[in-house]
Amino acid sequence: MLGPGGRLDAVRVWEVVELVDGQPGKLAQLVECLWDEDPAVANRAADALERVTRERP
């Protein structure tokens, strides 16, 4: 979901945020994406994680 696309594809990031909000168990998978080999994926994962934790610190 965080794969190919624009480096800061906000639409996909919000989809991930909604997925993690609905399934908190997915948070660990999102954190793992921070170390993805593709810098674009890691960037979007960081963006999504920031948005998730902003709403629920």
Over range 27-50, report the average pLDDT.
91
- State the pLDDT confidence band at 45, using cuts at 50, 70 and 90: very high
Domain boundaries, the chain: 10-55
| pLDDT of 41 | 86
User: Taking a C-beta distance cutoff of 8 angstroms, is the pair 48, 36 a contact?
Assistant: no
Residue 3 has a pLDDT of: 56
CA 40-46-51 angle, 5° bins: 130
5: left (phi over 0), alpha (psi -120 to 50) or beta: left
pLDDT at 5: 57
Mean pLDDT for the stretch of residues 32-41: 90
**Rounded distance, CA 48 to CA 9, Å?**
11
pLDDT tens digits along 1-35? 555 555 556 678 888 898 998 888 889 999 999 99
What are the tokens at 47? 């963006």
